[in-house]
Copies of this chain bind each other. A is one copy, B any other.
Amino acid sequence: MDKRTSTFERVESDVRSYSRSFPRLFDRAQGASIYDHNGKGYTDFLSGCSSLNYGHNDPDLKQALIEYVSGDGIAHGLDMFTDAKEQFLAAFERVILRPREMDYRVQFTGPTGANAVEAALKLARKVTGRQNVIAFTNGFHGVTLGALAATGNGKHRGGAATPLTGVSRAAFDGYFGENVDTADMLDQQLSDPSSGIDAPAAIIVETVQGEGGLNAASPEWLRRIEAIARKHGALFIIDDIQAGCGRTGGFFSFDGMGLSPDIITMAKSLSGMGLPLAVTLLRPEHDIWSPAEHNGTFRGNNHAFVTARAALEKFWADDEFAKQIAGNAAYLKQRLERIAGEAGLSLRGRGMMMGINMGSGEAAAAVCKSCFQNGLIIETSGSHDEIVKVLAPLNIPRDEFAAGLDTLEAAVATEMRHTRIAAE
């Protein structure tokens, strides 16, 4: 450890985590590359856990921000009307909502995904007058107390050090294997007045569970869940914080699936540049908040409005970017199938949100460590951290993508060789 990184040891809490996997001091990043202070570059297959879907410091977003700051644009605006917010809202309406014939209002919550989830759950309880919420096995919705109750991860739940309440757990698509229809199970329980599952205010679901192991729900299952929510008087909430903003192909992870969630939460890549921004989208008929009933100091992060608007207009005004994602996703799938196939492993996920199930957290960690030594930043996911998860920028140039995947391929092969040797 050098003098610089010793600062962290001395002054930062032990709660830090990613810095343990990638113990370098980074100072600069562009596109799919991130550089340490010795100038060494790394390909970034982590992308801020899907917060940097357009890569680091996209030149157009960066330019828009610099101009805004240079012109004394408002940085912090509470929830006042600002030019930057109006432009973001207008672009969001024009580029995202109208083409999809979606009628939603935008609530700017505190700029974290967890805060957007907290707002969603509070609103669902207000609207329905009910208090129970259905969340799924392996779901991840944040670590503030209301969102944490919906999160499945035991380490995070344990951090509360007090019981988490108000959530009943249901099994995600495929949780009990291919032959068990978990949607039917949920419907049965909600239809049974003595099941012990109280009538829910909401069902909250990720279409692909980013932290939970890249479990991708089928469109059919998601439609069933929405129908079950409607049947039982619950709001249907899609938490699109990690899977949205193009990560699985469309702007929403459920584009084209025929779903009409009552509430959608977004954050991570929404600002386009990794700046804190979170929104809760809600149908107008559910917009029964009283003014400031859910508030937060940084709900008017205008820098993020500027880059978010620029990102919407650059990437989502036409189909080009979606086609690029589709191309990259197809390439990713082909490469991962080969890597996994050779090793007898299985794939997980969908779109540009795929990974390899290494079978154990130890094996996955070894792969990631080997990758890092070879200039690739990549992380794990899943109940046992057993999934090596590729979260490359969506617009990563093909050659960089290929090189990164080559590194991954080699690391997996090495790990499988070690495993075989150990087994013999």
Contact = CB atoms under 8 A, between A and B. Distances in A.
A76 interface: yes
A49 to B, nearest CB: 6
Given A74-B29, A131-B162, A138 B194 contact: yes
B161 A274 contact: no
A188 B163 contact: no
A382 B282 CA distance: 30
Interface stretch (A140-148, A309-317, A328-336, A392-400): A140-148
Interface stretch (A225-233, A294-302, A403-411): A294-302
A51 to B, nearest CB: 5
A295 B126 contact: no
Contacts of A402: none
Given A26-B77, A49-B297, A291-B16, A145 B143 contact: no
Contacts of A383: 192-195
Interface string A182-194: 0001001100111
A192 B201 CA distance: 26
Interface string A23-40: 111111110001001000
A161 B133 CA distance: 12
A166 interface: yes
Nearest to A165: B165
Contacts of A296: 112-114, 142-143
Contact of A196 (B17, B24, B138): B138
A97 B4 CA distance: 18
B81 A5 contact: yes
Contacts of A49: 78, 297
A234 to B, nearest CB: 14
A346 interface: no
A57 B86 contact: no
A92 interface: yes
Contact of A138 (B24, B74, B195, B297): B195
Given A110-B112, A110-B115, A154-B194, A294 B163 contact: no
A303 B167 CA distance: 36
A66 B63 CA distance: 10
A122 B25 contact: no
A340 interface: no
A276 interface: yes
Interface string A1-30: 000110110111111111110111111111
B297 A51 contact: yes
Given A75-B273, A161-B131, A196-B137, A81 B26 contact: yes
Contacts of A34: 74
B197 A169 contact: yes
Contact of A293 (B12, B15, B77): B15
Nearest to A58: B75
A157 interface: yes
Contacts of A7: 86, 89-90, 93
Nearest to A191: B383
Contacts of A364: none
A249 interface: no
A256 interface: no
B194 A75 contact: no
B13 A113 contact: no
Nearest to A293: B159
A282 B13 CA distance: 8
Nearest to A304: B276
Contacts of A105: 11-14
A76 B160 CA distance: 26
A108 interface: yes
Nearest to A75: B274
24 contacts: A5-B81, A7-B90, A8-B86, A11-B92, A13-B287, A15-B79, A16-B291, A17-B292, A26-B77, A28-B71, A29-B75, A49-B78, A111-B276, A114-B144, A115-B144, A125-B160, A131-B161, A145-B147, A162-B166, A164-B198, A168-B168, A171-B185, A194-B213, A275-B301
